[in-house]
Amino acid sequence: MLLAKVLVIAHFAILALLSVYGVHRFYMLFLYYFHKKNQRKPLKPFDELPTLTVQLPTFNEVYVIERLIDAVAKMEYPRDRFQIQVLDDSTDDTTEVAARKVEEWSRRGLDIELIHRVDRSGFKAGALENGLKTAKGEYVAIFDADFVPTPNCLLDNIHYFTDPKIAMIQFRWVHINEGYSLLTRVQSILLDGHFVIEHTARNRSGRFFNFNGTAGVWRRTAIADAGGWQHDTLTEDLDLSYRAQLRGWQFVFLPHVAAPSEVPVEMNAFKAQQKRWAMGSIQTALKLLPSIWKSKMSLKVKGEATFHLTNNFAYLFLLLMSLLLLPATLSRAQFGWHNAFYIDLFLFVSATVSVAIFYLAAQREADPESSWWTRIKYLPMIMSVGIGLTINNSRAVLEAIFGADTPFERTAKYGVQGKKDVWQEKKYRRRRDVLTYLEFVMGCYFMLVIYSAWEYQLYSSIPILSLFPLGFFYMSLWSLFQGRRRAQPQAVQTEVTVAARM
């Protein structure tokens, strides 16, 4: 009897914590709309444009490396003050393809070089730091291999750096293959929420926000002042961002400047990317939150930094809540507490409704001239995918907490843009993960939860509960389907890094 009461209390406590993170999304919307018009402008234009280096960190990107180099080489910027570094750590024929393309543009008079490392120490952070040794620019732009930057994005926006306090400007990601599949559509909407609402709200309200590792420009002296690129977390970009802002540097987010990119088309690659981001954010939280709270920053900055860096703990809470849901429901039935179900239904709805409103607002703000309201139909799938990531991202959080030596797994890019593009027979395809089977088991478990809710006549809870098996079955079955065969024996390159032990 005591155990049953403990289970019910624990369930309500965890659900209350989840609702706090849900309510925080409403807070982000408030900050966004309250500060929406606080758009920062350059102090003045440069009298003479500064020297600019563009760094392109790559690793086994044979399908997109030529597209990337061509796009950057065609950028509008004075050629006598423009340098391109292809920072290639590849172990396949990407290096050869890149070398040919670099030679082609070099013959046209472009200052472009290929820097190939055999010793991949530090991985992307190490490549960026190594490139700075020979970089000529006062400012450094960074684009990952899956990006296709527009010709004028640097020329039009370099003038923000006439303000000596500005360390970094970040462009907004847009997605060239968002219409390829349901998965790419959902990812695009999720990323729009992060960039359109969160970045804008944090930046324009005077709180910290982060460089996203690509599609941005750094003041080189700010990188050095903040301690340089470090690789003791899986999110070197988030880490450097917070260290720089703690030093007093200011960032600018430019939501009106679009940086086209390719989102993963493969479920297993998407899950690996999400795991890396989740683990890296917790590693950064463990590394920097003590310094943030000891700093002289305002309470609003400290509080939002805490929510930002610990947000992935919500996956761990959601997993615990999921596991407790059935025994807690049965325990309530044992004591005749059927009506108590409506309390946690209220808490859960408060969390999920906030998610729906948040992403719907992001779609409206991202493209108000389009038929954004037609994307309402994707909201149940967005919430289901978030639920389906619970096991994947909970593992990432736990590995970060316990300092696991976790492999750094890159996100494969296949050069996919339209529905007719085929990627299934290309290399870099990922193996299915053992946790995929646990996701399937969780889907079955929630079918049992729904059956129990039906038995106890809790019919109003069934639509919300249905999001759980939908999410877990979608993630697991699609992972199994896409991972059932591999095109090449070298399909996946795994990079092993030492995660921070904190």
CA–CA gap between residue 192 and residue 439 (Å, rounded): 26
SS3 readout for 318-346: HHHHHHHHHHHHHHHHHHCCHHHHHHHHH
- Domain final position from 252, 276, 310: 310
pLDDT at 462: 84
Q: Both 379 and 244 in a single domain?
A: no
Exposed, middle or buried: residue 220 (CB in 10 Å: 0-12, 13-18, 19+)? middle
Which DSSP symbol is given to 432?
P
Question: Tell me, what's the pLDDT at 5?
Answer: 73
From 89, 146, 192, 239, active-site residue: 89
Regarding whether 306 and 361 lie in a shared domain, the answer is: no
Side-chain-side CA neighbours of residue 409 (13 Å): 23
CA dihedral 17, 23, 25, 30 (to 10 degrees): -150
Residue for token pair 């599609």: 215
Assess whether 192 and 244 both reside in one domain. Answer: yes
Give the model's pLDDT for residue 241: 98
Same domain, 70 and 7: no
User: How many angstroms separate the CA atoms of 323 and 176, rounded?
Assistant: 38
How far apart are the C-alpha atoms of 374 and 331, rounded to whole Å? 42
The answer to whether residues 423 and 343 belong to one domain is yes
Residue 502 lies in a domain: no
Q: Strand 494-496 vs strand 407-409: parallel, antiparallel, or unpaired?
A: antiparallel
Structural domain that includes position 193: 51-310
User: Which residue type does 256 have?
Assistant: H
φ/ψ of 244, rounded to 5, equals -65, -45
Same domain membership, residue 358 and residue 418:
yes
Q: Minimal CA–CA distance to 172: which of 153, 185, 159, 156?
A: 153
SS3 315: helix
Which of 144, 146, 237, 239 is catalytic? The answer is: 237
If asked whether residues 369 and 399 sit together in one domain, one would say yes
475 in any annotated domain = yes
CA distance 185 to 445: 28
Give the pLDDT score at 410: 78
Nearest to 311 by CA among 26, 28, 15, 21: 21
Q: 137 lies in a domain?
A: yes
Whether residues 288 and 435 fall in one domain: no
For residue 404, the SS3 value is coil
Closest CA to 417 of 196, 147, 92, 86: 147
8 Å CB contact between 97 and 61: no
Q: Are 191 and 175 in contact (CB under 8 A)?
A: yes
Structural domain ending residue among the three candidates 310, 325, 354: 310
Numbers of helices and strands, H then E, in the chain: 18, 9
The DSSP bridge partners found for residue 31 are none
In a domain, 38, yes or no: no
Q: Is 89 a residue of the active site?
A: yes
**413 neighbors 146 (Cβ within 8 angstroms):** yes
Q: Is the dihedral of CA 422, 425, 430, 435 positive or negative?
A: positive
Same domain, 317 and 304: no
Domain membership flag for residue 20:
yes
CA distances from 120 to 47, 91, 99, 140 (A): 40, 10, 18, 21
425 domain-assigned = yes
pLDDT digit string (tens) for 142-152? 999 999 999 99
User: Is 39 domain-assigned?
Assistant: no
37 found inside a domain: no
Domain termination residue (choose one: 267, 282, 310): 310
Nearby residues of 483 by Cβ (< 8 Å), 6 or more positions away: 267, 268, 429, 430, 431, 432, 436
Share in percent of the chain as helix, strand, coil (round to 5): 55, 10, 30
pLDDT given for residue 489 in this prediction: 41
pLDDT of residue 429: 79
Q: Are residues 323 and 467 in the same domain?
A: yes
- 343 vs 39, higher pLDDT: 39
pLDDT tens-digit profile of 182-239? 999 999 999 999 999 999 999 999 999 999 999 999 999 999 999 999 999 999 999 9
User: Is 174 in the same domain as 77?
Assistant: yes
Gap between the Cα atoms of 363 and 218, Å rounded: 28
pLDDT at 77: 98
Whole-number pLDDT of residue 390: 96
Number of domains in the chain: 2
Q: What is the pLDDT of residues 79-97, one digit of tens each?
A: 999 999 999 999 999 999 9
**Same domain (yes/no): 318, 270:** no
Q: Residue 337 burial (CB < 10 Å; 0-12/13-18/19+)?
A: middle
Crossing angle for the helix pair 313-335 and 341-366, nearest 10 degrees? 150
Does residue 413 contact residue 59 with C-beta atoms inside 8 Å?
Answer: no
Per the prediction, the chain carries an average pLDDT of 89
